[in-house]
Structure 1
């Protein structure tokens, strides 16, 4: 399960990057039924594992990925889409460096992966995806009596 702290930081960072290009980031669970006429970003997150670093400790270690999908309009050209993907990548790299203030305690982004566009995709959109792998460590919440 992705921690709320990780989701909130990633969504805020992605929104900063998207706004530089005049775009919006949508949350798959709160997206309006209408689709923007131009390109837009969709954010997803997954946790590859969340476990105690050692049994009996109160530290939880979570590893996962933040996925950002640029849904570009077919026919608008590859270069504008690549510029938007590069801006998103740069924003996350700057966030890791601390350019926008400190990361939440225990959060580290450490690898970026790219899933290139496939011109054989159906429909009027082409998907460009990138992901940022992360690790997040926090203390377990107190037991509920």
Structure 2
């Protein structure tokens, strides 16, 4: 399970990045009944591991991935999607460098992956995804 500290920080960074392009970030867990007519971002998280750093330790270590899916209406093309995705990537790199508020103690974003759209996908949106792997260390109380 993703820690609230990680979720809150990632959502804040993603929202700030999206606002530079006048886009919104929707929470996948909120299951929004309506979505913007233009492009928008959808955020979700996946924790791959969360446990004590070692037996008897009070240090909790969580590893996971922040996924951001850019949902583009068909026909807008790849160049604007790549520009939106690049800006999102830049904001997460700035966050790691401490240029966006303060990075919460114990949180590190350490790698990025991109997932291009499936050219055979059907529906009203084309999905471009970017993910940021993270590690969060916290002291158990």
TM class by shorter chain equals over 0.9
Task: Give the Cα separation in 2 of the matches to 1:110 and 1:32.
Answer: 30
Which residue number corresponds to residue 51 of structure 2? Answer: 51
Task: Give the Cα separation in 2 of the matches to 1:134 and 1:88.
Answer: 16
| Cα displacement (A) at 1:28 | 1.2
Please give the TM-score of this superposition, normalised by the length of structure 1: 0.94
Where do 5+ consecutive residues of structure 2 fail to align?
none
Query: Structure 1 residue runs of 4+, over 4 Å off?
Result: none
**Correspondence 1:1-145 to 2 at 5 A:** 1-141=1-141
Please give the TM-score of this superposition, normalised by the length of structure 2: 0.97
Task: Give the Cα separation in 2 of the matches to 1:130 and 1:28.
Answer: 15
Who wins on radius of gyration, i.e. which is larger?
Answer: 1
Paired residues in the alignment total: 141
Where do 5+ consecutive residues of structure 1 fail to align?
none
Q: Deviations along 1:96-133, whole A, 9 cap, x unmatched?
A: 01111320000000000100112211012100001000
